[in-house]
Amino acid sequence: MKITDVKTFVVGNPWKNWIFVQLHTDEGLTGLGEATGGLSSKPNLGDVEELKTHVIGEDPRHPDRLWQKMYKSRFANYSTGMSGIELACWDILGKSLGVPVWQLLGGKHRDQLRVYANGWYQGPRDPVFFAEEAARLVERGYTALKFDPFGGAHRAIDRRSEKLSIDIIRAVREAVGPEVDLCIEAHDRFTVTHAIRIGKAIAEYTPMWLETPVHSSDVAATIEVAKAIAPVPVAVGERYKRMGMFVDLLASKVVDIVQPEVLGLGMANTKKVCGIAEAAEALVACHQAQSPLCTAINAHIHASIGNFLIHENFDDSLEPWTWDVLQGTPRVKDGYLPVPNEPGWGVAFNEKEAAKHPYGEKNFLRLFEEGWETRKSK
């Protein structure tokens, strides 16, 4: 089997343009991957385009080998375009054998994945609003929620905004009771000292974790914060673009929750990171802030690992048309996501429906501007 063409599609989700990669083969099978770039849609489209020359003519049934070829062609760099192509290869491999991808990863540990909801606070940065929305999700069956209460803070946070952030966390905790897990997202916002102050202030609300409190690329700073704010756990990893960063992080023995991002690392490498984490007695909660195709992809990974912690999901905060574009994606029910059992990822891309939602030049999340929580394009 040979790859004959590589196509890309942009779908204009209001807060992030989604990029899909479709591989075609001489045997008629197609595979679906994703190369969504957040703030870099057009660079990622160019990335995939330029990789074509390394990919066309290759057998897609050897995804890791093809990834290694692209990696070497880029002077040993990772890229989202490489991941998008590699992911589509896994889809083809599964389809060619008639098995779900989790089967190719060694089988599954579970049929259901515990989920935390994200993207649910699309409104005012107000404790009452956050509390009401959180309670609504818990009523729907969610047992864990993630939110970023810190507004547009970058490096520092002023006293008024810090107090408001803590008030939001307290209001959510009071609304959902002691048994629901709260994941506090910090989006790389703070300096080490600000992060430590915040981490200590939120301890009484017993968060499941404080996520990326300092710049993700600074492993040493992350470790300093994690040591200082224990027992509040720190979770990190979504922006790690190299497997070795997880080795450096986990060697510290103070961080034990990692969040690899499949679009940053590729599928084979994400599975390897799960192994690196397992060797360090650490837990995995893969990052997922892309389209629901990545929800399905992460479900295959999470099903196949022994050190799974929890699954990130935006299902209840997406546009209704999403499910017409991506057909067959698993959907959350009572706080759990069923593991897909169809061949490949089990997701079909509907080009006709996708064409109704073109690229939007304002479809970007501005995390360091006040009001970003609304996730509205502006």
Catalytic residues: 187, 287
Query: Toward Mg ion, which CB reaches closer, 297 or 367?
Result: 367
Contacts of 227 (CB under 8 A, 6+ apart): 254
Coil, helix or strand at residue 117: strand
Nearest-approach distance from CB 287 to Mg ion, in angstroms: 6
Nearest-approach distance from CB 305 to Mg ion, in angstroms: 20
What gap in Å lies between CA 196 and CA 233, rounded to an integer? 12
Query: Toward Mg ion, which CB reaches closer, 236 or 326?
Result: 236
Query: Toward Mg ion, which CB reaches closer, 58 or 211?
Result: 211
CA angle 345, 326, 307 (to 5 degrees): 40
Neighbouring C-beta atoms of residue 356, cutoff 10 Å: 12
355 token code pair: 């064409």
Torsion angle (degrees, nearest 10) of CA 90, 94, 95, 96: 100
Query: What is the 3-state secondary structure of 69-103?
Result: HHHHHCCCCCCHHHHHHHHHHHHHHHHHHCCEHHH
Nearest-approach distance from CB 141 to Mg ion, in angstroms: 23
Query: Toward Mg ion, which CB reaches closer, 162 or 238?
Result: 238
Nearest-approach distance from CB 169 to Mg ion, in angstroms: 16
Query: Toward Mg ion, which CB reaches closer, 70 or 257?
Result: 257
Contacts of 10 (CB under 8 A, 6+ apart): 17, 18, 19, 20, 41, 45, 358, 359
Coil, helix or strand at residue 203: helix
Give Cα 110 distance to the centre of its chain: 20
Residue ranges that bind Mg ion, judged by CB under 5 A: 211
Nearest-approach distance from CB 147 to Mg ion, in angstroms: 11
